[in-house]
Structure 1
Amino acid sequence: MTELRSNLPYVLVLYYSRHGATRAMAEQIAAGIESQQGIQARLRTVPAVSATCEAVEPDIPAQGAIYASLDDLRHCAGLVIGSPTRFGNMAAPMKYFLDGTSELWLGGALIDKPASAFTSTSSLHGGQETTLISMLLPLLHHGMVYAGIPYSEMALLHTTRGGTPYGASHVAGTASDQPLDKHERQLCHAQGSRIARLALALHATRES
């Protein structure tokens, strides 16, 4: 991914990843975003949550993207969020972060911006669609315009692992050691590319 250029709008790719699979998807989506001219991707993550009240995360994670701020969301031209599934729902760290965005909701900061979601599961029927829908709900409350993956993307018809019209998905295996396959990579890239095109179009209407 290229270095961020301050003069270009960006799509925020916001994710939580425990074992690296969701992070790998985020990187493929970012590549799809940056395949479109005139826009860039901004990768950000969220810290884990702990039942131990005294536990704190370092300000900068040891690896991967840096932690997101509300300003990353406030100024984005589009948003793609990703989380592994937890019993058919988004993981607690992503839910915790989104629960803290009331300030943006009150100000309408995300209204009419395009958004999408992606997820990774350990098994083929491990709740991919319901996890994606769980992430869709707060985006709708923010007034965002949700966009999935259309069936013009032929990988949706040929995949035997991840991939849904609600957003990209990946089957990581019970040991979380399965890499993205060809179709999963294609769908991540296509999702990023589509959100980038929509973000450019909607950003132009807001700027005019």
Structure 2
Amino acid sequence: MTPSILVLYYSRTGHTAQLARLIARGVEEVPGMEARLRQVPPVSPVTEVAQPPEPEDGAPYASRQDLIECAGLALGSPTRFGNMAAPLKHFLDGTGAEWASGAMVGKPAAVFTSTSTMHGGQESTLLSMALPLLHHGMLLLGLPYTEPALSATLTGGSPYGASHVAGPAGDHPISDHERELARALGRRLADTARKLAASA
């Protein structure tokens, strides 16, 4: 069975989903690795309303089995007041069994986000997603400055992970540098997972 990197995200307007697809492309540029795109469902204050078992569009909803089976994890969310969005936090809050069993220990992980403004909390959101991954015992990867786009970008991208500045109206396309960095993060994650598997 081909090792897979789980690219798990929540996206409200589609920008984080676009980043997820670019990271998945980067993953699949590494020979012998494949990406598994999954999203988490939205949450509602009306608890009686249930989401359909499959989303109307986009990637399938994630299951706990996806976490157990993956060789690595890329986790993405739009920014909500400098933090990850509630649907992703809700999903992570339900992973106590995987934490207790150590299902994610030693697997590489990376994070990505999209914000409407340049200083809208990209780095704090990336760090907020990193915290539960540390509790799961995962090995966090960022983007090193050996990636030329990290020093050249005038939009998104940080050493903490891939990011996109969507603009206040959400109409900014993903820039060339943002694309390069998202794919680079996917490649780095997949290459690390492959090396770890080979040394086991």
Could you state the TM-score of these two structures normalised by the residue count of structure 2?
0.99
Spell out, residue by residue over 1:136-169, the C-alpha distance to the aligned partner (whole angstroms, 9 max, x if none).
0000000000000000000011100100000001
Secondary structure of the residue aligned to 1:12 is strand
Distance apart, 1:179 and its partner CA: 1.4
Whether 1:88 aligns to 2:82 is yes
How many angstroms does 1:204 deviate by?
2.3
Q: How does 1:143-154 map to 2 (within 5 A)?
A: 143-154=137-148
What count of residue pairs does the alignment treat as equivalent? 200
Deviations 1:98-126 (CA, angstroms, capped at 9, x unpaired)? 00001101100110100000000000000
Equivalent residue for 1:44, pick from 16, 22, 38: 38
Paired with 2:49 and 2:70, the residues of 1 have a C-alpha distance of 30
- Are 2:48 and 1:54 equivalent residues in the alignment? yes
Letter in 1 for 2:171: D
Paired residues for 1:87-106 under 5 Å: 87-106=81-100
Q: Which amino acid aligns with 2:177?
A: H
Structure 2 SS opposite 1:132: helix
Matches within 5 A, 1:110-129: 110-129=104-123
**SS of 1:123's equivalent?**
coil
**Equivalences for 1:138-177 in 2 at 5 Å?**
138-177=132-171
Indicate whether 1:71 and 2:68 are aligned: no
Distance in 2 (alpha carbons) for counterparts of 1:113 and 1:205: 13
Task: Give 5+ residue unaligned stretches, structure 1.
Answer: 1-6
Query: What is the SS of the residue equivalent to 1:129?
Result: helix
Q: Does 1:8 pair with 2:2? A: yes
CA distance in 1, matches of 2:126, 2:199: 28
> What CA distance in whole angstroms lies between the structure 1 residues aligned with 2:46 and 2:11?
20
Number of the residue aligned with 1:190: 184
Question: How far has the Cα of 1:203 moved from its partner?
Answer: 1.9
Normalising by structure 1, we get a TM-score of: 0.95
Deviations 1:49-97, CA, capped at 9 Å, x for gaps: 0011111111110110000000000010000000000000000000000
Q: Aligned-pair distance for 1:174?
A: 1.1
Distance in 1, matches of 2:197 and 2:95, equals: 21
Moved >3 Å (runs of 4+): none
